[in-house]
Structure 1
C-alpha cells in the first residue's frame, strides 16, 4: 500500500520522538538523525545538512569569566568630581578574556602577517606610535627605538596603539585563529599574493555558498570555515566596559557557595584596602605596577616598590581570582564603549554597553567651541598604569581619549562571547 508523503513523515516523527525518550532530548552535540519538529532526516539529499559538533573550540590565551549579578561603579571617593560611574546592579553574561595584556611580540606577529598579505598602506597604519615615549624634558629616547622590537621587551605590553588599531588587531586575530581551527592554516609568512584581510581581494570560490546547517555544498566540512560547522570561534574583540570592570572585580573569589548575597566588595582587583600583599612569603610586596607618589615610580634600589620604572612583564604580580594578570596597573586598557558621563544611568542592566549616538547624542556636547571633549569618537579606558597613582587602579574609575590617539600608558586585551552556553 502506498502512503502519502505526509503520513510517512508522521511515522518517522513518531519513531524520532520514541527514540528521544530512550536517549534523552536532542542537544547541540547530539541533535539526532531526524529533526525533532518535522521528522525529516538530516544530511540527506532533501534534508538539511548538520555538521558534527562537540564543543566550542578553545581560544588561545583566553580565560573563562563566569558571569552573574554584580554591583558596578566606583568604590572610592570621586576625587575628580565627575560622578560618571555611580553604583548600580547589573548582570553580565559569561564570556572569555585574555589572561594578560597583548604584548609586543604579539603585535610584531601581527605586523609580520599583514605585511605579507595586506596592502602596504594598511601595514603602515598598523605600526604603533613609538614616539609616545618621547618627552621634551625627559631622556626616554632609548624606548622610542628599542621598546617595541628589542627581544628583552617581547612580553611587555604593547603601547602606542590607538583604539582603532586595537580593533583591527582583533579582526585579524579572529581570522588567523579560525583559519587554523578550520584546518586551512594561514600563509605562514609566505609571499603568496591575492589573499589577506586588508587591501587585497580574494578570488570567489563557488563552493563557499553553503546550506543552512553546514559548510559548503559538496565540500569537506572539516576544512570549511563557517558558523554552522562549529569549527570556528566567535570574534575576538575589545571587552565592553562592564565586562572589563566585572572581570577586574573578580568577586567570584569572595563568594560563598550557595550564598545569593554579595557581601564583599573590593577597592582593587584583590582583597584588602591596600596595594601590598598581606599574605605569605610575599607579604608587603606591591600587587601592581603603578606610581606610588610624586617622582616615585619604583622605589629605592635594593628595596624596590614594584620593581618597574615603566611597564613590566605581562605576567608579573599575582593574578586575580579569575586568573587575569595586571587588571590594575602596568597599562591602562582600551574597552569598546564610547564615553558618556551618564552611561551608568542610560545603559541597560543586562550586558550594559554604550555605542555611538544612542540616548545621549554628541550634539549635546559643545566640542566645536571647546567647551567639551566628548563626541562619538572618544573611547573609555580602564585600569590605571605604571604612570598613574593608586586611585586609578580601582576597577570603577574611568577615563576617555580619542579613538585615533595613543600614549605610552594604554594597551589592551581581547575578549569573546561564550557561545551556546549560560555557564
Structure 2
C-alpha cells in the first residue's frame, strides 16, 4: 500500500472512530466507513452494507415487550400434576399474532400450496374436518361447512396438528418475504418471482454477491443481511405464550418495577366476568361454564358461542392480543415434560427434543405413559373447556401429529436488533 492511500485510510478511520458526524454508528446509520478499519463500505474493496430502516412490519403481528415475570400456575393445581411450579424468568421482546389463525388464512395457504406444489403436499396440508364428528352428537354440518363456508371465515382454524401448524409458519415466512423482496426490487409493485415456498423455478445460489441478495447464476437468494425481509414466523415457545397471555404490563406501576397485582387470567380480577361499565357481568372468554352449558340460555347467553367464536370477539388483553384464554387452545413449540419448569434456563426458557429427561424413562411402549419426544404442549383453554384451563399457567399435551376441534394456533417472531 502506498503512503498516500495509507494516510487516506488513517484519516477516514480516525474520523469514523471519533464518530465525527451525528454520533456513534447504529444499525440504521452505520456510516460510510467502517469504524474499525476505516475502509469504505459498498466499494469494490469494502463490504456491502445494505440500507436498513428497521425490521419491516409483519402482517398481523403486535409487539410484546419482554421483561421479568413469574411463570407458573396461578390457580390451585386441581389436577395434581405439579408440572408448572412458579419461577422467575426473563423473556426477550418478540412479536405475536394479535388473533388466532383463522379459516380464511388457512384457505389462503391451501390456495398457494395447491398452486405452487404437488397434490401430495396439498393433501398433507388439509385440516382434519372430521374432528367435529361425534358418534353421539349431531355435529355433522361442521364437518362440511366449518372450514369453507364464508360465515366461518374469521373463526379459528381447527383440526390442524402441530406439524401442520409448523408447516404453515414456514410457508407464511416464505410468502411474506417473497412479497417484501418484490416490493424492494420494483418500488412497490407485486413480486415478479413465482413459486413461493414450494416453487422450483428459482435457483438458490451460495456465496459471493449472491449472499447479499444480488442476481447471480440465474437466481436470487433472499439474504438475511439485506434487512428487507422478516425473521421466521414460528410457533411461540411455551414461555413466550404464557408471558404474552399474562399481559402483566397492564399491572405495572409507573416509575418503578412493582406490579400492582398478579393475574389468574389475562385480565384483572379473579373472575371470568367483566366487572366494569356497560359490559359488566358479561363473560370475557369463550369457554364451557359447566356440564352441558356452552353458552347459557336463549335471550341471555353468557359467552354467546356454542362452539368457536370470531377471532376478534371479547376484549383484547393489555398487549392487544385477542382470545389468549378460551375459544381454542393453542399449540406452542415445546415438547412436553412434567419437570420442564426446573430444567430449562431462566432466560427465554424452552424445551426441545433430545436433551435431559429422555423419553425412554416414560415407558410408553408398555402403556405406562403417554410421553415421548413427539408430544407437544398446548395452552389457553377452549370453547369446550371449563374455566380452570383459561389460566395461562395451565398446560396440557398431545401428539404432534394429532388434531382436535378445540386446538388452533397463532404465530410469533423474534424482535430482531432491538430490545424495545
Same topology, TM > 0.5: yes
**Corresponding position of 1:177:** 176
Q: Is 1:12 matched with 2:9?
A: no
CA-to-aligned-CA distance 1:110-163 (integer Å, 9 cap, x gap): 000000001110100000000000000000000000000000000000000000
Aligned residue-pair number: 413
Task: State how far apart, in whole Å, the 1-side matches of 2:45 and 2:61 are.
Answer: 40
Aligned partner of residue 381 in structure 1, secondary structure: strand
- For the residue of structure 2 that corresponds to 1:386, the secondary structure is coil
Q: Rate the CA distance shift 1:145–1:205 in 2: closer, same or farther, 3 A.
A: closer
Contact 1:48 1:213 (C-alpha < 8 Å) held by counterparts: no
Taking the aligned partners of 2:178 and 2:414, their CA distance within structure 1 comes to 19
> 3-state DSSP class of the match of 1:183?
helix
In the other structure, the counterpart of 2:136 is 137
Once the two structures are TM-superposed, the CA of residue 10 in structure 1 deviates from its matched residue by 2.0
Question: Whole-Å Cα distance in 1 between the matches of residues 195 and 141 of structure 2?
Answer: 37
Aligned to 1:321: 318
Q: Cα offset for 1:354?
A: 0.1
Q: Alpha-carbon deviation of 1:178?
A: 0.6
Q: Could you state the TM-score of these two structures normalised by the residue count of structure 1?
A: 0.93
In the other structure, the counterpart of 2:394 is 397
Structure 2 unaligned blocks of 5 or more = 185-191
Instruction: Name the residue aligned to 1:67.
Output: 66
Matches within 5 A, 1:4-403: 5-18=5-18, 20-183=19-182, 195-198=195-198, 201-204=200-203, 209-211=207-209, 214-216=212-214, 225-403=222-400
Distance 1:303 1:261, change over 3 A: same
Give the Cα–Cα distance (whole angstroms) in 1 for the partners of residues 124 and 337 of structure 2.
Answer: 28
User: Could you tell me how far apart the structure 2 residues matched to 1:98 and 1:319 are?
Assistant: 12
Change in 2 beyond 3 A, CA 1:384/1:2: closer
Contact 1:70–1:262 (CA under 8 A) maintained in structure 2: no
Cα distance change, pair 217–134 in 1 and its aligned pair in 2 (3 A): closer
Give distance in 2, aligned partners of 1:327 and 1:381: 12
CA distance in 2, matches of 1:376, 1:324: 30
Once the two structures are superposed, residues 91-114 of structure 1 have per-residue CA deviations (whole angstroms, 9 ceiling, x without a partner) of: 000000000000000000000000
Residue by residue over 1:205-227, the C-alpha shift from the partner in whole angstroms, topping out at 9 and shown as x without a partner, is: 66x644498332679xxx97221
Question: Structure 1 stretches of 5 or more lacking a match?
Answer: 186-191
* Pairwise CA distance, 1:9: 2.4
Q: Assess, with a 3 A threshold, how the Cα gap between structure 1 residues 2 and 359 changes in structure 2: closer, same or farther.
A: closer
Per-residue deviation, residues 49-84 of structure 1 (Å, max 9, x unmatched): 111111110000001000000000000111111000
RMSD between aligned residues: 2.3
Q: What secondary structure is seen at the aligned counterpart in 1 of 2:90?
A: strand
Secondary structure of the corresponding residue to residue 167 of structure 1: helix
Q: CA deviation digits over 1:371-410, x for unaligned, max 9?
A: 0000000000000000000000000000000000000000
Deviation of 1:261 (Å): 2.6
Q: Distance in 2 between matches of 1:97 and 1:391?
A: 24
Residues 337-390 of structure 1: CA deviation (Å, up to 9, x unaligned): 000000000000000000002111111110000000000000000000000000
1:305 shift after superposition: 0.7
Contact conserved, 1:51 with 1:213, CA < 8 A, in 2? no
Task: Kindly state the Cα deviation for residue 7 of structure 1 after the two structures are TM-superposed.
Answer: 4.3
Taking the aligned partners of 2:120 and 2:154, their CA distance within structure 1 comes to 27
Q: State the shift of 1:258 in Å.
A: 1.9
Q: C-alpha distance in 2, partners of 1:205/1:331? A: 39
TM-score for the superposition, normalised by structure 2: 0.94
Quick one: distance in 2 between partners of 1:339 and 1:51?
41
Q: For the Cα contact (< 8 Å) 1:129–1:161, is it kept in 2?
A: yes
**Distance change (3 Å), C-alpha of 1:304 and 1:38:** same
Alpha-carbon distance between aligned partners in 2 of 1:172 and 1:307, rounded to the nearest angstrom: 34
Distance 1:9 1:212, change over 3 A: farther
**Aligned partners of 2:209 and 2:280: how far apart in 1?**
60
Contact 1:49/1:212, CA 8 A, preserved across alignment:
no
Q: Return the alpha-carbon distance in structure 1 between the equivalents of residues 403 and 31 of structure 2.
A: 52
TM-superposed deviation, 1:184: 5.9
Change beyond 3 A, Cα 1:276–1:205: closer
**Structure 2 contact 211–223 (Cα < 8 Å) conserved:** no
C-alpha deviations, 1:248-286, integer Å up to 9, x for none? 000000101222133411000000111000001000000
